[in-house]
Every structure is written in C-alpha cells, then in structure tokens.
Amino acid sequence: MTPAKSGRVVTGHHTPRIFCARFGFRRPDRTRAIRCLPPQTQNFREFGLVVTTGGVLESAGPKTRRPIGNAASLSKWSRQQMRLHSSETVGNHTPSRIPTDVRHAIELVSTTGRGPANIQRLPGRNLNFVAESGDRKFFVKVLDRRESTQRIEALLAFERFNALPSVREWYRGPQLIDVDTEHNAAVFEYIGDRATGSELMVDMRFDTKTAGRVGELLGRLHRSSHDHVPISAPNYPAPRPQHLHAIPLDQLYHLTEGEIEAFRNCQKDHELTRLLEELIADSESNGDRCPIHGDVRVDQLLIDDETVMLIDWEEFRIGDPARDVGTFIGEWLYRTILDIPTGRGDGTAFRRTGDSSEIVSRAVDKAAVLAPLVQEFWRSYTAVTHDSADPALLRRACRFAGWHLIDRLFAFAAGVAVLPATHWAAAGVGRAALGEPDGVIDLFELKVPA
C-alpha cells in the first residue's frame, strides 16, 4: 500500500486492521500531518519528515524550539555514570598483532569497498570478510565510521572482561586479535564454519535444547562481576525517540526510501514516541544493573553440537538485563508474524481469500509452534539468575520485545525502497507490545515461577 499524498504532506498507514484487533493496536491520528522543517530544508517537505540542522528543533508551524539529541534524552543517572566511569579512549592504536597482508586487505576494503582476490566476503550490515595469512584465517569486521570508536571500546572492554577466570568458566567465543582504529576494523580469530542461530531458525532446526543454552548463557552473563564493564550512554534500538521528534539533517542524506517511509509514519505516531520514552525511563530507573550484550539477535549466535557462542560484543556495557531478554523473545515474536503467510510449522500456506479471523488464528497457531523455545529459554535463564520472582523484569523484557519488532522494520528499510505490509504488521504488533506486554506473555504462555 503506497501512502497517498495530500498537498506537501504524506499521509497513510500500512498496519493491517487485524493486528489492531488482536493486540489492541491503535492507529496514529492521521489528521496531525507533520511538515515543520527549518527554512533551510524546505525541499524536504515532500518527505513529510521533521528534520533538525543542529541542537534545536525549529518548526514551520507553531513556534517550537527545544533541545534534542543524545544529551537531551539521557537520564540524570546515565549522565552521572558517564562522567564517573568514562571508558578508555581508543585513540590512534597501532594494530601490531594483525599480519601485514591482512592489514593491507583491510585498507583496500575500507577505502574502495573491494579487497584482494583471496578474501571471502560475508553478509552483514558491516563490511565483513575472511582473510588468510599463511596457514591462519581471520574474521575481519570493518565498522560504520559514525559509531566505530564506541563499538571498538566495547570490544576491548569485553576482552578484558573475558580474561577474568570467572568468565572463562562459562564463555567460549572467537578471540579478538587486535583492532585497526585507522580503518575502523576489528580482527578476530576465524573459528571455522558453524551454523548461525538465524540459519537454524529459518531451517526450523533451532530446538529447545539450544534455546535453553542461550538462556543459561545470558543468565551467567547477567550474574557476572561488573569488573571491566563500561558504563556508557545506552544505545537503544531504532527508532531512537529523539529521531521521532526530529532527524538530524546530516543523517537524512543517508536514509533510503524505505527508511524515509518508516520515519514518516512513525513521526506521526506521538503515542509511539511516548511509549518508547516511557520504557527508557522505566529501564534506566531499574536498579538491577548488570553486564549486558545489548543486541542478542539469533544471527549473533554461532552454534554446534557442543557450544553456543554469543558474538559481536560491540554493545557490551552495564545495562538493564531486560534489554537482552526482550531482544531474544522479540526475535521469536518477529518470526511468528513473518510466518503467518507461510507454511512453516503447520505446512499450510495462507489463502489469499482468508479473512481477518483466519489471520488471527494463524498468528496464534504459529506462536504455539515457537512457544516451547521461548519457554525453555526463559526457564533456563531464571534458573541461573534466581530472580524469577520479579514480574517487572519479564514485563519490561516483553516491552523491549515490542521495540525489537519496530527496530526490525527499520533494519529491513535500510535495504529497500518500499516496505512490505508484513513488516508494517510486525511493527504494529511491536507497538502494541510496548503498551501491553501481557499480550506477549500470554501469547508464549510465559510464567514467573513462584
């Protein structure tokens, strides 16, 4: 469904009505079309977006000037912790442990997008590849320049954390060889071909045993010592609430058509902004801070018969454990929605002539197939953390699960011009979960043990 244009402001919404009925999702008010852009960005009116050229939001409508950006959205607690516990500065680190030929490959890939013929390019949002030097193989990740310093600091902090004897008792993963700050790259040992969690999910080989291992792994992480764990500004999923108030002009230039469509609709939804800001305030006021991974998607898992490895520790920090738990639950909630039109699980594909009641029924049936995985994950997690009597953690985690579905909308939008209705539907379910997390708890039949 393509949004209809009314004057200079784009209106319209994509969320199928059925998800409004099943999860109590209310559509945003379409009468409040947004076209408040500063005079120097008048040519962006056609996008229906709010944009800022600096730290002040300017409006072409009612006079509005208020500070925006990361500093404005941080809680008092976060700002204090950043001042008291600032992480090490990466600086101009010399990557002395990276072989010369691998460093040459990094330079070529980061500057030209291409590399020597002997590298193996890998999928991912970053520039990932496998390089060889003699008889050794290395996995190389070239990070987005805009956030590379913070991410490299987190990787180095995790290596210090992982050196603790108490951590090495339960964690196994690829070793960080070194970082190349000049080219924003991190080099790891290559540990061979292992299935990722996303591959197992798609092939329906992600079993309850594996889900339980993930729960135990996260439980051990959250119960670990705070030593060497950075306390830095939280890096929340997309869309960040400050961008729902206004998108920095320099970031607008990098958006795809799909991302513009996503921001255009989400900026109109003031209730969504309120729900996200409310969750952030609730999460940051939670006193149970611990080491967190920060991005526990299934494609961050490397799995074999003996081991589950959680990789990509670029968001490693002290934070709310509900963030990790909610992201993993959100992965299966997202899979539930994507599976509605398919024959996965029950072998029957959705009929085009099916009505709204059939869509609801299929959503419940698909969730029932995946529920044992989520239940075993949660059971194993609470068996390790011993704080299973805290219902607030599960409810907050299910709100983060909802945010994860909206984050997946923006992740998909980064590579397309038009967003399919299924992804809007998933975002609608996520929005509902932000306000009514008990819906997710009931859907997967999760329980807080006494």
* Residue 229: φ, ψ to 5°: -95, 125
Beta strand 247-248 pairing with 51-52? parallel
pLDDT in tens, 175-203: 999 999 888 899 999 988 789 999 999 99
Whether the CA torsion 312, 318, 319, 324 is positive or negative: it is positive
Q: Which two tokens stand for residue 98?
A: 């990276």
Q: Please, are residues 422 and 416 in contact by the beta-carbon 8 Å criterion?
A: no
pLDDT in tens, 18-53: 233 333 333 333 333 333 333 344 345 556 777 776
Q: Give the residue with greater pLDDT, 232 vs 335.
A: 335
Q: Where in the chain is the domain with CATH 3.30.200.20?
A: 98-192
Is residue 380 over pLDDT 80? yes
CATH of domain 1-89+194-450: 3.90.1200.10
Average pLDDT value for residue range 75-101? 54
Q: What angle do CA 66, 70, 75 make, to 5 degrees?
A: 90
Q: Please, are residues 386 and 219 in contact by the beta-carbon 8 Å criterion?
A: no
Q: Where in the chain is the domain with CATH 3.90.1200.10?
A: 1-89+194-450
Q: Which two tokens stand for residue 271?
A: 């209730």
Across the chain, mean pLDDT equals 80
Q: Please, are residues 197 and 298 in contact by the beta-carbon 8 Å criterion?
A: yes
CATH topology of domain 98-192: Phosphorylase Kinase; domain 1 (3.30.200)
- Distance set, CA 268 to CA 260, 272, 273 (Å): 13, 9, 9
Q: Please, are residues 232 and 330 in contact by the beta-carbon 8 Å criterion?
A: no
pLDDT in tens, 405-417: 999 999 999 989 9
Is residue 132 over pLDDT 70? yes
Is residue 322 over pLDDT 70? yes
User: For residue 98, what is the DSSP state?
Assistant: S
* Contacts of 108 by beta carbon, 8 Å cutoff, 6+ apart: 114, 115, 116
Report the alpha-carbon distance of residue 222 to residue 218 in Å, rounded: 6
Distance from first CA to last CA of the chain, Å, rounded? Answer: 47
Predicted TM-score (pTM) of the model is: 0.81
* Residue 195: φ, ψ to 5°: -70, 140
User: For residue 56, what is the DSSP state?
Assistant: B
